Amino acid sequence: MNKRERLEATIAGQSVDRVPAALWRHFPGDDQDPASLAAATIAFQQRWDFDFVKVTPASSFQIKDWGVQDVWLGNTEGTRQYTYRPIEQASDWRALSVLDARSGALGTQLQCLKTVVEAMPDVPVIQTVFSPLAQMKNLAGERLLIDLRQNTADFVAALETITQSTLAFVREIAATGAAGIFYAVQHATANLLSEDEFREFGRAYDLRILEATKNFWLNVMHLHGDNVYFDAVADYPLQVWNWHDRETGPSLKDGLAKIKGAACGGIVRDMVMLRGRPEAVRQQVEEAIAQTNGRRYIVGTGCVTMIPTPEINIRTAIECAQQSA
C-alpha cells in the first residue's frame, strides 16, 4: 500500500499491510521563517518516512498579525513564551479585525505549506490549525476565562472575528494541495471550562470551521490536556483523533468505540518516548496494537514529540509499526 491507501483503509477500519505511524515536532527558530520551516519539515520526513506529515508552526502564527510577541527560551517541547499579549482589558477584544489569509503571517504559512506539499507529492501533508478558543488563550493569557464569564459580549464579538479569520485561512489551505488540517482543541477539559461552557464557546465554533474542511480526506483532531470532554467532540466530522490516551481517559480501545475514524497515539511522549528505553517504546506500541487489534490505529504520541527525543526511540516506534504486518 502507498501512504494514502494505508491511511484511508485505516480510517475505514479495513485491513492494512501494516499499521501506519506518524510523529511530529516543533522546529523552534526555523518556525520564524517559512522557507526554513518548510526545509526542516521536509528533512524530518526524509529522515523517518512517516505515513503523513504535520506542518507545525509556532502557536502564534494565526495571531501574529494581531500583535502578539513571543520568544523561544529553550523549552524541550519547542513551544515559545509569549512576551506581549494585545488583550489587556475587555474592550481590546473589539479592536480585532478579520485577517487577510493571503497576507501577513497567515500568507507566509500558506507558502510554507505549499512548499512542503510540492516537495513530497506522495506524502499526505496536513496543516496545524488552532481552534478559536486556543487562539484567544494566546491573545489574552489568564484573562481569557475572566472575559468569557464576566465580559461575555466583548468576548463573543472577538470569538466571531477569530472564527471568520480561521475560516478564511482554512479555505485557502485547499489551494496548496494539502490533505487536511490538524485541528488543535485545548479547552475541552474540566480543568478550564464546564462542559456547557465548552459546548457554547468551543464546540459551536469548531463545527463551523470543520464544515469548511469537508472536502479534505485527512483531518486530524488533537484533543489537548487531561480530564477531557471526549464525548463533546467524538462526533466531530474528522478522520483521525489524537489525544493523551496514556495520561487521561478514554483508552485507545474505549475511544475507538466512540468515534467513527481512527485513533493516533499509544506512546507517552515524555516518560517513555523522551526518557524511556527502546524496550518501553516497543511495549507501549505492542499494547496499543493489542488494544485496537491493529485496526483504526496509527502509531504516535499523545501530543507533539519532544525535541531531544532519542533517535533510537523514534526508530523503534517506526519499526514496531512496520513489523505489525
pLDDT tens digits, one per residue of 145-190: 999 999 999 999 999 999 999 999 999 999 999 999 999 999 999 9
Question: Which single residue is written with the C-alpha cell 513551544?
Answer: 79
Q: What DSSP string describes 87-133?
A: --SGGGGGG-----TTSHHHHHHHHHHHHHHHH-TTS-EEEEEE-HH
Residue length, the chain? 325
Helix (H) or strand (E) holding 185: strand 180-185
CATH topology of domain 3-322: TIM Barrel (3.20.20)
- pLDDT recorded at residue 172: 98
Helix (H, G, I), strand (E, B) or coil at 54: strand
**pLDDT for position 59:** 97
| 227-239 confidence digits (pLDDT tens) | 999 999 999 999 9
Q: Average per-residue pLDDT in the chain?
A: 98
Q: Using N-to-C axis directions, what is the helix angle for 132-140 and 143-150, rounded to 10°?
A: 110
Per residue in 180-208, pLDDT (tens digit) is 999 999 999 999 999 999 999 999 999 99
Q: Write the DSSP symbol of residue 76.
A: T
Say if residue 314's pLDDT is above 90. Answer: yes
Identify the pLDDT of residue 270: 96
Confidence label for 302 from pLDDT (cuts 50, 70 and 90): very high
- What is the domain partition of the chain in residue ranges? 3-322
Kindly report the backbone phi and psi dihedral angles of residue 267, in degrees, each rounded to the nearest multiple of 5, phi listed first: -120, 130
Task: Read off the pLDDT of each residue in 37-65 and give the average, rounded to a whole number.
Answer: 98
Q: Are 21 and 51 in contact (CB under 8 A)?
A: yes
Sheet of 220-223, strands arranged across: 53-55, 125-130, 180-185, 220-223, 240-243, 262-267, 297-301
Whole-number Å distance between alpha carbons of 54 and 264 = 13
DSSP secondary structure string, 18-45?
S--B---B--TTGGGSHHHHHHHHHHHH
Provide the grid cell at 273. 518516548
Mean pLDDT in residue range 12-18: 97
Has residue 325 got a pLDDT over 90? no
DSSP-assigned beta bridge partners for residue 127: 55, 181
Residue of 166, 136, 165 whose CA lies nearest to 148:
136
